[in-house]
Structures are given as structure tokens and as C-alpha cells.
């Protein structure tokens, strides 16, 4: 198995698109060659704990309503081409994602990390739910088989908050400036929402290398 590390934030639309493209390629493979691990990277590490109004956030981030509309029109168009229909108009708040990242970490310990990441993306971009809200996160946890009482107790405490922040900071120190960022075999760094064609090409290269290794 080949390690695939993915740095992501569940409020990043390009991360959702990038995951979707990867998932579609892997679904065609009889055997998944990757061991996937998701890592925290907050797009807004200084976001207030309660989050902020979505429109205020977009206009501030992109320098006005027109620029925000232009950026998200491109995102929506790319998403549709990838087979995703984002219901961006349903999103009322941009949340702080520290607790979503904590949930992703705990899901990894139980072997359901990929499922939780998918559920977070769908919750935010399709249902317009507040994934900074404890009840939303607990509902997602339960939907993938995690223990409701345990996750509720963990979220209400401060467990691994500092660890998540430190992992985020370490990624920035290593030169990561945006997400998604894919790291194959701890060697090859692929920034951005890579296409299905690129992932197909990567898998072909990996198979070729494996065949050459076995032929030696």
C-alpha cells in the first residue's frame, strides 16, 4: 500500500471537488493502492468560534460581492463538470472548523475517516448545515457508526485542540499555503483539486513501477 496524505479543510470547495475526482478514479480500481490519511489545515485559523455570516465572509475575503460571485461561479461550474451540485445558497454561516478537524482525527482512529470527510462536505456544501455546530458534528459521527456519547463528550472538552492547531502550523512551516494538497508516498506533492485524468495517470505509473519491481 502507498501512503496518500491529504491536507484539507471541510469548508474548502476545491477540497470537495478534489476528493470527488479521486474517489471516482479509485472506484474503478479493483484494489485501492492507497492508505489515505486526512490532515488538518484551517483556511481561517483566526475565525471566531461561532463563525461569521457567510455573505460578510465572502465579501471580505474576495473584496466585494461581485468578486465573490465571480469566484464562486467558477467553483460551481467546475463542480458541476465533476458531477457535484453545490447548494451554496443554503450556506448561511462560515464556521470555525477546529471541531470538524477533531472529528476527522477521531474518525481516523476508528477507520472511518474518509466517510466522515465525505459527510462533512455533503453537510456543508449540499445541505447548507453549520459544521461548526456540535449537534451537526454528532449527527455526522453517528451516521458513520461512531459512538454518540463518546463523540459528544470529546467535542465538549478541549481534547486535541492544541494538537490540531500544531499540525496545521507544521504544515504551513513546511510550505503548504493552500488546500487541497496531496502528498504521495511522502515524496510527491500535488497541490490543488487534481483531475480524474491525472489520478488515472498516477495510478498507471504506480502499477508500472510495481510491475518493474516484481520483474527484477
**Dist. CA 125–CA 114, nearest whole Å:** 16
Beta-carbon contacts of 137 under 8 Å, excluding residues fewer than 6 positions away, are 99, 100, 103, 131, 151, 155
* Per-residue pLDDT tens over the stretch 130-150: 999 999 999 999 999 999 999
pLDDT number for residue 92: 97
| More confident site: 216 or 50 | 50
- What pLDDT, on a 0 to 100 scale, did the predictor assign at position 215? 81
Q: Rounded CA gap, 14 and 167, in Å?
A: 21
Q: Is the model's pLDDT at 119 over the cut of 90?
A: yes
How many Å apart are CA 28 and CA 23, to the nearest integer? Answer: 9
pLDDT digits (tens, 9 = 90+) for 25-74: 999 999 999 999 999 999 999 999 999 999 999 999 999 999 999 999 99
Q: Label residue 211 by pLDDT band (50, 70, 90).
A: confident
212 or 3, higher pLDDT = 3
Element (H, E) at 173: helix 161-173
- Predicted pLDDT of residue 210: 84
Residue 92 phi/psi, 5° resolution? Answer: -105, -20
Report pLDDT for 34.
97
Whole-Å CA distances, 204 to 165, 189, 201, 208: 36, 17, 5, 6
Q: Where are the domains of the chain?
A: 2-48+96-215
Domain 2-48+96-215 CATH class label: alpha beta
pLDDT for the residue 172: 96
Instruction: Assess whether pLDDT exceeds 80 at residue 216.
Output: no
The confidence score (pLDDT) of residue 209 equals 87
Contact present, 181 and 6 (Cβ < 8 Å): yes
Q: What mean pLDDT is reported for the chain?
A: 96
Amino acid at each position: 500500500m502507498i501512503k496518500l496524505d491529504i491536507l484539507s479543510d471541510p469548508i474548502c470547495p476545491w477540497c470537495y471537488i478534489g476528493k470527488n475526482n479521486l474517489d471516482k478514479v479509485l472506484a474503478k480500481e479493483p484494489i485501492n493502492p492507497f492508505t489515505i490519511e486526512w490532515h488538518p489545515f484551517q483556511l481561517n485559523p483566526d475565525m471566531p468560534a461561532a463563525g461569521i455570516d457567510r455573505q460578510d465572509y465572502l465579501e471580505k475575503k474576495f473584496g466585494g460581492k461581485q468578486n465573490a460571485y465571480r469566484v464562486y461561479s467558477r467553483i460551481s461550474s467546475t463542480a458541476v463538470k465533476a458531477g457535484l451540485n453545490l447548494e451554496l445558497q443554503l450556506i448561511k454561516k462560515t464556521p470555525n472548523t477546529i471541531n470538524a478537524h477533531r472529528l476527522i482525527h477521531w474518525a481516523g482512529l476508528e477507520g472511518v475517516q474518509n466517510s466522515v470527510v465525505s459527510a462533512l462536505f455533503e453537510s456543508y456544501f449540499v445541505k447548507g448545515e453549520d459544521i461548526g455546530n456540535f449537534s451537526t458534528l454528532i449527527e455526522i459521527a453517528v451516521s458513520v457508526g461512531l459512538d454518540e456519547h463518546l463523540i459528544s463528550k470529546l467535542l465538549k472538552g478541549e481534547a486535541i485542540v492544541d494538537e490540531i492547531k500544531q499540525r496545521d502550523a507544521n504544515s504551513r512551516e513546511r510550505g503548504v499555503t493552500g488546500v487541497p494538497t496531496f502528498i504521495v508516498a511522502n515524496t510527491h506533492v500535488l497541490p490543488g483539486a487534481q483531475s480524474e485524468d491525472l489520478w488515472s495517470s498516477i495510478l498507471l505509473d504506480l502499477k508500472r513501477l510495481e510491475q518493474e519491481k516484481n520483474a527484477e
